[in-house]
Chain A
Amino acid sequence: MKSIRTISSIIIALVLTLSLIASAAADGAFRTLEEIKASGSISIGVFSDKNPFGYVDENGEYQGYDVYFARRIGEDLGIAVNFVSTEAANRVEYLETGKVDIILANFTVTPERAEKVDFALPYMNVALGVVSPNSRVITDLSEIGAEDRVIVISGTTAEDYLIKNNPEITLQKYDTYANAKNALENGNAVAWANDNTEVIAFALQNEGYTVGIPSLGSQDTIAPAVSKGNESLLNWINEEIKALAAEQFFHKDYESTLVDTYGLDYEDSLVLEGGGLTE
């Protein structure tokens, strides 16, 4: 018994030392714009399995809305792009350790994340949306009666938003996308609230449904991110996004990557040109 206690105290000491070293080390491990240019290639973290934002096609090439922009960054810097496959869970870590120069992985801007990484100007809007059957299209939340139910997926922003802002609406919660979809098709509820990209894609792929409320609640944005403090790179990306507005670059991007999933109707509400500053 005594040896177990000794061993566990040694382990605790070890872990504490490691975490001390880790927190004491400088977090400024990033490459400046000059260093990136001089090295001849830039590392950009993208999703490799999130069609249509970042995925790999049958020839092993990265494709998607984020990737289209990443390639343009490489072109305009005049250097090669080295794509790194990232997961939602390690995007911040990649930037904090400087293992990639930019993250372009459908990264939604939030205050918590902004404490750890620096976001550039946004290039896409996301908001909540509500889809309902054509037989009774809900175009405003006030049309939802006391006996009506609205489907949400547990843990999503849609759930949080409706609980907070519309507590009078009865929610029907599901854990998975597939269960929520079945419930709507079976008529268990009058509408389904989720990220607007999700409900728009759903209405396009399933006959008989309309997105009556395409944009609900606070608008969030998706933006490129760099390591905290990497100003030279951040400024370059911001200037790049502003300059690309002249040629409506992100509309072209949308039309070659997202149009199959979201259709042309929502192009202007989803795409942001020039960081949205010019409008």
Chain B
Amino acid sequence: MPDLGLEVLWKGKNFARLLGGLWVALRISLISAGISVLAGILLGIAASRKRSVSSVVLRIWLSVIHVMPQMVLLFLMYFGTTRAFGWNLSGEAAAVIVFSLWGTAEMADLVRGAVTSIPVIQRESVEALGLKPGQIYRWIILPQAVRRLIPLSINLITRMIKTTSLVTLLGVVEILKVAQQIIEANRKASPNAAFGVYLTVFVMYYLACRPLSLAAKKLEKQWR
């Protein structure tokens, strides 16, 4: 077996530090994902009505978020708000805000797409049967839209978890930063530690994202 420098993981509190870093990454991404899913569904439903104010808002919001790299958004939210308004957001709070803005925009777009993909004939038919708009959403549109949404939103959440590695620029120490710290601190004692440590990080990310996709598969089956 090649030397992966795995021994550095058992030095001192290194392994616990990696897990702590994973928890920071998950905390930021799961809180943001929760906000994004809730706000995204509401905004998405509102925006699915053609030529409504909310659809214009969503279009502008999406195009702003899409043209700006996440790193720029994070810098603006953390350093920019201090310069402009004197706010003193913590690194984590700034990260959650940016990820929520990004997630809500993308989620709303997914919801809008899923809702408008339901054939108009279905809506017209139940309208003819006398259902009210609220009932139409509750019984006809949402059950079908949600099923289409699950794989897409899981994809969004896992992308969010991976993008948390950027928050190190805001002084937040998450899993990837802890990994770099461990590798650098052992540069001379274990020069191969990079392989072992990054391999461990890969496994940790995988184990963290796996339950999400399993749950998604289960839900998809159940609601078929």
Residues of chain A whose beta carbon lies under 8 Å from any beta carbon of chain B: 3, 7-8, 10-11, 14, 18, 21-22, 25, 27, 29, 45, 48-51, 55-60, 63, 84-87, 89-90, 93-94, 96-99, 205, 260-261
Query: Are A96 and B185 in contact (CB-based, < 8 A)?
Result: no
Query: Are B83 and A49 in contact (CB-based, < 8 A)?
Result: no
In the complex, chain B residues whose CB is within 8 Å of the CB of A205 = 188
Given A49-B177, A85-B168, A18 and B84 contact (CB-CB distance below 8 Å)? yes
In the complex, chain A residues whose CB is within 8 Å of the CB of B181 = 48-49, 55-56
Indicate whether B169 reaches chain A with its CB closer than 8 angstroms: yes
Interface string of B114-154 (1 = CB under 8 A from A): 00000000000000000000000000000000000000000
Query: Are A14 and B84 in contact (CB-based, < 8 A)?
Result: no
In the complex, how many angstroms separate the beta carbon of B56 from the nearest chain A beta carbon?
Answer: 8
In the complex, how many angstroms separate the beta carbon of B26 from the nearest chain A beta carbon?
Answer: 19
In the complex, how many angstroms separate the beta carbon of A261 from the nearest chain B beta carbon?
Answer: 8
Of B9-17, B33-41, B96-104, the stretch lying at the interface with chain A is: B9-17
User: Secondary structure of the A side of the interface?
Assistant: mixed
| Chain B residue at minimal CB-CB distance from A27 | B83
Between-chain CB contacts (< 8 Å), 12 pairs = A18-B84, A25-B84, A48-B177, A51-B184, A60-B17, A85-B171, A85-B173, A85-B177, A87-B168, A96-B83, A205-B188, A261-B188
User: How far, in whole Å, are A22 and B76 apart by their CA atoms in the complex?
Assistant: 10
In the complex, chain A residues whose CB is within 8 Å of the CB of B75 = 90, 93
Indicate whether B187 reaches chain A with its CB closer than 8 angstroms: yes
In the complex, chain A residues whose CB is within 8 Å of the CB of B88 = 99
Of B59-67, B105-113, B216-224, the stretch lying at the interface with chain A is: B59-67
User: How far, in whole Å, are A261 and B184 apart by their CA atoms in the complex?
Assistant: 13
User: How far, in whole Å, are A96 and B79 apart by their CA atoms in the complex?
Assistant: 9
Query: Are B79 and A97 in contact (CB-based, < 8 A)?
Result: yes
Query: Are A11 and B187 in contact (CB-based, < 8 A)?
Result: no
User: How far, in whole Å, are A8 and B62 apart by their CA atoms in the complex?
Assistant: 12
Give the one of B63, B84, B168 with max A CB within 10 A.
B84
| Chain A residue at minimal CB-CB distance from B89 | A99
